[in-house]
Every structure is written in C-alpha cells, then in structure tokens.
Structure 1
Amino acid sequence: MKKQLFIIAFLGTIHATNAQYTKDINTNRPSSSMGAYSVSKEIFQIEGGFSYQNDTFENNNENKQQNYQIQLRYGDLLEQLEFIGEFNFSSNQITNGNLNETNSGFRQLNFGAKFLLYDHYKYYVEKRNVYSWKANQRFKWKRLIPAISIYAGAQFNTKNNLYYPNLPDVGLKTMLIAQQHLSKRFSITYNFIGENVTENEFINIGYIVTASLGINNNWSLFGEHQGSISRKYFNQTVPFENDAFLKVGITFKVHQNLQIDGFTGSNFQNNPNKIQAGLGVSWRNHKKYQFKDPTEL
C-alpha cells in the first residue's frame, strides 16, 4: 500500500513540475519577441493589437501604415509544446511626389510550434537563509541561467510587404529563444530569428532583446531592441540599420486572464525615419489544474 501511494505521489510531482500554467496571463505583447514558456496544455490565448507607423524619407516622400496583428496560441499534447498562428494585416498610404497610392492586405502569415527544451526553474529553488537578511538580498548568479525554447514554422509572405515585396511565397522560419528571470519582477528575453532560411537569396538573420520590469501586481514596463544580423534581398546585402528598431511600452493587467498594453518606437536612421505607436490586448480562457489520479491514466 505504501509503495502504491509513493508511486502516485511521485507521478503527481512530475505532473506539477512539468506544468507551465501560471496564475496570471503569460503574454508576448506588446513586444515583438516570443517568450520561452508556453501557455500550458489545453489553454487557448489570443493576443492582438493595432499600430500606426509613419515613414518619412529625406526626399519628403511618406508612407503611412495601419497595422493589425493577431497571434493565436494553443497548448496541446505536452505542457512544453505550443502551437502558434500569427496574422499581420497592413493598410499603406504611399505619397511619392504628386503620386498617392493606397493598398492593403495580409503582409505575412506564420504557423508554427514552440517547444521548451530546458527550464532552469524546474530544477533550481532559491533557499532562504534564516540567519542573514543580507545573504537573502544578495544577487544569485544562477538566475543568469535561462530557460531555452526552439520554434519552427511556415512563413507565408505576400506582395503587401512594403519594403520587400518579392519574397518567396513560402519560407521556413526558425527561432532560438532564451529567457532569464533576474528577479521576481525583472526578466530579459532573447530571440535569435531565421526567416526564409531555406532561401539563400532572401535569408534574414535577426534578433530581439526585450527587458520587462514589473512595477507592481498590475503594471509593468518594457523596453526592446530589434535588429538584423544579416539580411539578403535577391542576394544583395541590406544594411542592418534599415531594420534596427527601439520600442518602449507599458502593460496593465485588468485581471489574471486579461491584459491591455501600449507602446511607441522608432528606428535609428533618417531614410526612412520610422515612428510607431500602438495599443493591444491579450486574453486567455481560464483553466485550473486539477490533480488526476495517475492510476486512472
């Protein structure tokens, strides 16, 4: 009897340890990066927003963009596995001298899956020193060890990409994701991204670094730097300054399953000079974990 109880308890511990469900919503917004953790098995989450971008060129030409982004996330099969669909719709108004042109449509569609390879906090628990307040406040170097995930998916490019309209119709998008929790309220996420990785003429290797700071239980701030390491367009190297972008923003948790956000950002050069601002919302269906008897599995 004791042996059976031990096995049940052990299996229950494995179930709880592998779980990634969090009390509060775990959302990627309003950053452009992707976090290492999944939404958890059987959780559905939708994250969407609107952004406005104004691009001004040195010759006084101007592009005005209205962008709508939706990301659908669903955890299934394993706690560490998440399926993701991303939809980006743009409406562009281009002013070139006396020429005014307007077009709209889906700019890019992505469908893929993310898998958590390693979760440092699954094995690491900080111990409190009951004899020393100073020891408890000291920075723990093991916090630098990140959680690691990988992402792979199909990238569907359309002709509505304003700056790169002739990309291949379908490409492979891959991503290596690392996420550090340096304290209970401060984290840094790193994305190393490969787009169109099977097409040497159009391959893009980029990165996103996002820092998030929780002010209290409801408010948080974020800052983000996004850029390219190498981009090719018809085998011609594109200067990385064209894609370097800096964003800052704020989020507010309405309740544990709903968050709203706002952000603004700009690039680092004048041709074009890009100014962007946006608002968004994230929502998930609510689920509470219930212990399942391992003997009934």
Structure 2
Amino acid sequence: MRKLKNKILWAFVAFLSTTLAVAQSDESLNTDRPDQSEGVYTLPKGQFQVENGLVFSKEEGFDNLMLRYGLITNTEIRLEANFDVKTPDFSSTVFSVKQRLWQSERYLPSVSLIGYGQYSKGEGKAYTFDACLAFESVLADEFSLAYSLSSVQQFEGYNFTTELNYTPTSKFWGFVEYYATYQPHYAPLHNIDVGIAYFLKPNLQLDLSGGRTLFQPEANYFIGVGVGYLFK
C-alpha cells in the first residue's frame, strides 16, 4: 500500500515537472480550483485546460483531476475524476456542462449554470444528476464575491458556498470561503477554507489551500496542493 501511495505521489510530481517544462503559452487561465465554489468563467471555444490537485486530511486522501474544453462560445464541457489514494480506487466520475447565462454589468452579477452527471461508488445512488447556479460580483478592483447553490444526490440535499477573492496582482490571488452541505435526516456540515494561487506563467497556476470543519465535536483539518495548465 505504501509503495502504491509513493508511486501516485511521484506520478504527480512528474506531471508537475513536465508541465513546468512545456509551459510556453502566453494565454491566461482561470481555474475552478482550489476552492469549493464553482466559478462563472467558461473557456473560449477550442481551448483545453487541465486542473489537478491532492487533498489530505487525517483519515482521507484524494486526487482530483478535471479536464475542461471550450465547446462553443460561453459553453464548456468537463470530465472530472476523484481517486481515493488510501483505498486506492476511483471514488467518483463526473461529466458536466457549464453554460454562461449572464455577464456582469454594473451591479448585476455574472451567472453560470452547471449540469452534472455523476457515477459514485459506496453508499447512496450510483448514478445521480444535479445542477448548480454560480454567481460572481465585482466589489472593487481587487475584490470579488463568488457564491453558488448546488444540489446533491439527485436534489435530495444542497451545497451552499460563499467566497471572498482578493487579486492584488496578475501573478497572485487568494480567497477565504465558507461552504456547507444540507441533507435531510443529517445535521448540516459547515466548513471554512483559505487558499492562494500563483501564476508561474499566464497559462500555469500553482495553488495551496487548507481548511477545517466547523461546529463539530472534533475538527477535521485538511490541506491541498494543485496545478492548472491551459493549452492553446
């Protein structure tokens, strides 16, 4: 088991090193990581983007990989896979479509709609279909507010997120975020996280994040590290 975990870690390091070597594009990128909120941004037609990250807590460890492609103007398709590095096994696979509905004007926020089709192992339904409405409002030159409401387990429950973003330069941005899950017959799950992202190149992002659960008898802390790369 330990050897397999080491192989996974070295594979991630190799992927990161390769990405650093080939990053030569002058295009900029906009990722949907490392936060929990869905962004409103959609890839331009014909662009392809890879986002990958590792998240570890006391009892769990996951690798999250997302492939994104700009299908047409304001529409992108995405394939996401979550790998449990402690089992090890794939825990879920998600296909989604993101559609930009409205571009921010004056005091109105930008709005996007995301539809998901997910296959999951374990308890609950194997195949589920859910949706998310994502919003983003510009507060000032360096600050923006992102928030989203999404369904889980075939509209049996809901996720809510709200996030304050700070972008002081074109090379760096950070965030603080609150998110919660509400499901029938279960107490709400509340969490908070913070993170930073740094652009080594306009098309290459490295990120670091961490957080914890709230209002629990024993807090669960987690930390994540990841990379995003935009292909021309």
TM-score (norm 2): 0.84
Q: 1:146-198 deviations in whole A, cap 9, x for unaligned?
A: 01111112111112xxxxxx110101120011111222321111110102226
Give the match for residue 101 of structure 2.
117
Are the counterparts in 1 of residues 97 and 115 from structure 2 also a CA contact under 8 Å? yes
Q: 1:18-43 deviations in whole A, cap 9, x for unaligned?
A: xxxx9521111111121112011101
Give the match for residue 174 of structure 1.
131
Amino acid paired to 1:41? K
- Inter-partner Cα distance in structure 1 for 2:32 and 2:141: 18
Q: Are 2:77 and 1:83 aligned? A: yes
Q: 1:201-238 deviations in whole A, cap 9, x for unaligned?
A: xx12111112210122212111111102x303xxxx11
Amino acid paired to 1:149? S
Q: 1:258-289 deviations in whole A, cap 9, x for unaligned?
A: 00000110011334421000110000112xxx
Give the match for residue 213 of structure 2.
267
Unmatched runs of 5 consecutive residues or more in structure 1: 1-21, 55-63, 93-102, 122-141, 160-165, 287-297
Give the match for residue 226 of structure 2.
280
Give the match for residue 67 of structure 1.
62
Amino acid paired to 1:239? A
Are the counterparts in 2 of residues 153 and 173 from structure 1 also a CA contact under 8 Å? yes
Unmatched runs of 5 consecutive residues or more in structure 2: 1-25
- Inter-partner Cα distance in structure 2 for 1:249 and 1:177: 19
Deviates more, 1:167-176 or 1:215-224: 215-224
- Inter-partner Cα distance in structure 1 for 2:169 and 2:34: 18
- Inter-partner Cα distance in structure 2 for 1:110 and 1:33: 16
Given candidates 47, 64, 67, the residue that maps to 2:51 is: 47
Are the counterparts in 2 of residues 155 and 196 from structure 1 also a CA contact under 8 Å? no
Please list, as runs of the form range in 1=range in 2, the aligned pairs for 1:91-110 lying within 5 A after superposition. Answer: 91-92=85-86, 103-110=87-94
The DSSP-based 3-state class of the residue aligned with 1:120 is: coil
- Inter-partner Cα distance in structure 1 for 2:175 and 2:77: 25
Give the match for residue 239 of structure 1.
187
The DSSP-based 3-state class of the residue aligned with 2:169 is: coil
Given candidates 121, 126, 136, the residue that maps to 1:158 is: 121
Q: 1:232-254 deviations in whole A, cap 9, x for unaligned?
A: 3xxxx1100xx211000111011
TM-score (norm 1): 0.66
Give the match for residue 176 of structure 2.
223
- Inter-partner Cα distance in structure 2 for 1:267 and 1:179: 24
- Inter-partner Cα distance in structure 2 for 1:181 and 1:72: 27
- Inter-partner Cα distance in structure 1 for 2:116 and 2:224: 26
- Inter-partner Cα distance in structure 2 for 1:89 and 1:219: 28
Q: Are 2:205 and 1:211 aligned? A: no
The alignment yields a C-alpha RMSD, in angstroms, of: 1.6
Give the match for residue 187 of structure 1.
144
- Inter-partner Cα distance in structure 2 for 1:83 and 1:114: 6
Are the counterparts in 2 of residues 84 and 113 from structure 1 also a CA contact under 8 Å? yes
- Inter-partner Cα distance in structure 1 for 2:147 and 2:77: 20
Are the counterparts in 1 of residues 27 and 230 from structure 2 also a CA contact under 8 Å? no
Q: Are 2:26 and 1:32 aligned? A: no
- Inter-partner Cα distance in structure 2 for 1:196 and 1:274: 23
Give the match for residue 147 of structure 1.
110
Are the counterparts in 1 of residues 104 and 137 from structure 2 also a CA contact under 8 Å? no
- Inter-partner Cα distance in structure 2 for 1:221 and 1:151: 24
